[in-house]
Amino acid sequence: MLKKLIENKKLVVNPPVFFTTIILITISLALCLLFSKSIDQWFAKTQLSITENLGWFLVIAVNIILIFCIYLAFSKFGKIRLGGDQAEPEFTTASWFTMLFSAGMGIGIMFYSVAEPVSHFSDAPRPAGDAVQTAIQAMNFTSLHWGFHAWAIYAIVGLALAFFSFNRNLPMSFRSLFYPFWGEKIHGWRGHSIDILSALATIFGLSTSLGLGVTQISAGFTFLFGWEISPLIQSIMILVVISFATISVVSGLNRGVKLLSTGNMILALILMSLIFILGPTLFILKGYIQNTGSYLANFIDISTWNDTFSNSGWQNRWTIFYWAWWIAWSPFVGSFIAIISKGRTVKEFILGVLIIPSLVTLLWMNVFGGTALHFILDGDLTMITAVKDDMSTALFVFLENFPFTRFLSVLALILIFVFFITSSDSGSLVVNGITSGNAEYTPVWQRIFWSFLQGFIAIILLWGGGLNALQTAVIITGIPFAVIILIMCYSLHKGLNEELQRQNKQLKSKQERSYKDIISELIDEQTNNDI
């Protein structure tokens, strides 16, 4: 029956990847349901064990990725164009930025923009002296988690996928990144294994974001309207949002996803602008410059810090989780960025993905998180209490400090919903691409299937172990994928070097032909003169 469906194009999949991924997801979810009473403890122990023993590896891996990104941008490879010398960008630069930003951060900046700096202030990673120094340190570590390292991961994965797809005509899947090592063997079990892992990492990374989103939406409704949100209501919320995301997925990249991403960015800019205008404007301006400078000045120190001597566990809860989360998200975000980046040069791609989104994200964190710290330093400790009680309500408690509180809170809820949808629809397209072998056409129901499956995964993990379950799932998939990305860096360097050699050979051949034509013309001219 399956063979007949595949032959009739009613099921367009790479069978080993598609079915193995579904089986592994099913087993994972079944274990969550069967052992729901003890699974929460297991997730907590597993997360602690992995972060304590392998956290150092993630710290060094993410730093290597950032250094490699910067090297490629300013190296001889920077002039290579994705898709060939004649390729032109499909999207305008403005549309490109809005789409990659919406896919890259999404719900996370809504959930953590206020909660994280306040949490770092009340539970400081390192002794910092007085309150002012503690606030500066809080913004430094927030900038670390949301700045250049995160976008470097997305940039290097997106660049590798775009290069091997557009310049080598290979499928846009992770197996293609290993072609310089394995050659045609990427079409066998080795390539299937890489694609399965990338599909799982994408699914669980997305589920974490969906879990954060529905938790914050629930908190918003409870805080604003006094509604009691049960796990059942949360599940319904996820399904409603997934339904909207499905409409976008069916519409395709150039319509639904692009329009939602653009609308998302407009809403985000409106909310941020209102906080900037209604809040302590001068403080935000000065803080953005100072905090960005402090982040850069302390860059090497905080990015290599391993909590070695105090071993407080702070880094495991924050930095290690973030690095694993960004790495787990990299197949999704990297694939999406690659799809929309044909025609960009390597230098333009890396600097565009690395610098602009990082600066915008840091501005967002300073407008929200910096302002929250401003209230605390002025003596209002409400934010600290709110974060300790329930991190998901922090944004809404924060908005009570401004005029038009109800309007701002409703706008924030709408924005969370839209971020929710854009993350879901982009992720569904990517997972569908991975499991279909990057087929040009897939049935509509297949894209709908992945859209709803990620929603069901988020629901079951929330019921089984809450955010601990989601975070542990991310860390478990993020660790092995970090190894894959490091190997991929070497593969990409090899591929770019071969591409540059090919281009230089073509240029030399063209110059030689041109030289021969000039000699021939001179000889013909001399012959005519002699005659």
**Amino acid identity of 381?**
L
CB burial of 158-173 (b: ≥16 within 10 Å; e: otherwise) equals bbbbbbbbbbeebbbb
Is the full-model pTM beyond 0.85? yes
User: What is the spatial distance between Cα 326 and Cα 349, in angstroms, rounded to a whole number?
Assistant: 19
Contact between 165 and 181 (Cβ < 8 Å): no
Residue found under tokens 């997360």: 47
The pair phi, psi for residue 170, each rounded to 5°, is -100, 160
pLDDT in tens, 25-78: 888 778 777 776 666 677 777 777 888 888 899 999 999 999 999 999 999 999
User: What is the spatial distance between Cα 221 and Cα 203, in angstroms, rounded to a whole number?
Assistant: 27
Q: How far is CA 242 from the centre of its chain?
A: 19
The pLDDT assigned to 66 comes to: 97
Terminal CA-CA length for the chain: 81
User: What is the spatial distance between Cα 440 and Cα 12, in angstroms, rounded to a whole number?
Assistant: 10
Q: How far is CA 282 from the centre of its chain?
A: 31
User: What is the spatial distance between Cα 337 and Cα 334, in angstroms, rounded to a whole number?
Assistant: 5
In this prediction, the residues of the chain whose per-residue pLDDT falls under 50 are 7
| Domains of the chain listed by start with CATH number | 8-177+198-519 (1.20.1740)
Contact between 431 and 454 (Cβ < 8 Å): yes
Whether the CA torsion 504, 507, 509, 511 is positive or negative: it is negative
Contact between 258 and 95 (Cβ < 8 Å): yes
The pair phi, psi for residue 81, each rounded to 5°, is -100, 135
